[in-house]
Amino acid sequence: MNDLSPRPDLSVIVPVGERHANAEDLYAEYRQGVESTGLKAEFIFVIDGPHADFAAAINAIARRGEPITIVSLTKQFGEATALMAGFEQARAEVILTLPGYFQIESSGIPALVGAVGEADLVVAHRWPRVGSPLEKLRRSAFHSLLRSVTGQSLRDLGCGARAMKRGVLEEITLYGDQHRFLPILADRQGFRIREVDVPQSAKDRFKGVYQPQEYARRGLDIFTVFFLARFTKKPLRFFGMVGVTTFVIGALLVTYLVIDRLFFGHGLADRPALLLSSLLVVLGLQVFALGLLGELIIFTHARDIRDYKVDRVIHFDPEYTPLPRASDGTVLKSGAN
């Protein structure tokens, strides 16, 4: 890539996984929507795994002179990794992510990109939404559970169409299946989040049947996001709560057994409850100690952790001279270059 070439206004990242549409149709529709924004754009297709048919088709399109960068991963790593791989190649200050299959109409892209001026991350909400009653129930249950554990009232986290400022992906590293929860992680970092209604694509008719293990993985993902959003900077609150609760239950049970032995003459040798209560006491102490260790680690690195965002700084002193800072924001010492 020529670093001297003019930077585009918009970088469009399209991760291509197992589920993908025809490359020619997908690019034509996305290009139509992006061109209607009036911005100069580059397209970055990240092929996540061995998808020879799509790779051959998108290479043929690129050879026609289209502004396309193709990133091929050695194997399937997942959409979150594909997005980060695409971001490494992106040059614009505004990033637009679009799925490798049809979810929204291209006519909704200008509204999505245009809202970036009012927010740091804009999430697409397909509306009106078409789907089976079972799918609607499943979607409603997922977002209700997510709302209860994170406090975020987003309605369409499954949509891969999102526009954001470059700083969002510079400060948030996605891995695993965390691409779905990018708005929640961004909100935790202090970025401004907005949801915009966009028309659902007429070709968005996925009727996949999820296996039980898929629901189990989603449940674990929600628990992970819950922990990251609430307790990353305060691990003792989580582990301490679990540890103290476990310890108290075990201690109460031990106290009951001791009183029962001393005052009512019941033996302890053949009572499994004694072993259970002892294990609960030890486990509670260990979990609490784990939280305390986490707090010590956070305290040690607190100077390097910045969990806030500055919206703006206004100086009214005409003689004010800002301190020289490096590219990472740190203040340079006197005489530093």
DSSP characters over 227-262:
HHHHHSS-HHHHHHHHHHHHHHHHHHHHHHHHHHHH
Contact predicate 59/24, CB 8 Å? no
Phi/psi of residue 229, each to 5°? -80, -30
Lowest-confidence region among 7-11, 89-93, 118-122, 308-312 = 308-312
Spatial CB neighbours of 279, under 8 Å, sequence gap ≥ 6: 250
Which pLDDT does position 1 carry in this prediction? 44
Judge whether residue 3 has pLDDT over 60: no
Contact predicate 212/260, CB 8 Å? no
Which pLDDT does position 212 carry in this prediction? 76
- In whole angstroms, how far apart are CA 59 and each of 64, 75, 148? 9, 18, 45
Phi/psi of residue 193, each to 5°? -110, 140
Global pTM reads 0.78
pLDDT in tens, 203-217: 987 665 667 777 787
In percent, how much of the chain has pLDDT > 70? 86
∠ CA(24), CA(25), CA(26), 5° rounding? 95
pLDDT in tens, 19-33: 999 999 999 999 999
Which pLDDT does position 336 carry in this prediction? 45
pLDDT in tens, 35-45: 999 999 999 99
pLDDT band at 337 (very low <50, low <70, confident <90, very high): very low
Lowest-confidence region among 9-18, 157-166, 204-213 = 204-213
pLDDT in tens, 124-147: 999 998 887 888 888 898 899 888
For the residues 60-80, what does the mean pLDDT come to? 94
Phi/psi of residue 185, each to 5°? -65, -35
Mean pLDDT of the chain: 87
Structure tokens at 330: 């740190």
Judge whether residue 64 has pLDDT over 90: yes
Which pLDDT does position 333 carry in this prediction? 56
∠ CA(118), CA(120), CA(126), 5° rounding? 80
In the 8-state DSSP scheme, what is residue 176? T
In the block, which residue shows the tokens 């470059």? 166
For the residues 7-16, what does the mean pLDDT come to? 96
∠ CA(159), CA(161), CA(163), 5° rounding? 135
Contact predicate 240/288, CB 8 Å? yes
Lowest-confidence region among 49-58, 140-149, 161-170, 236-245 = 140-149
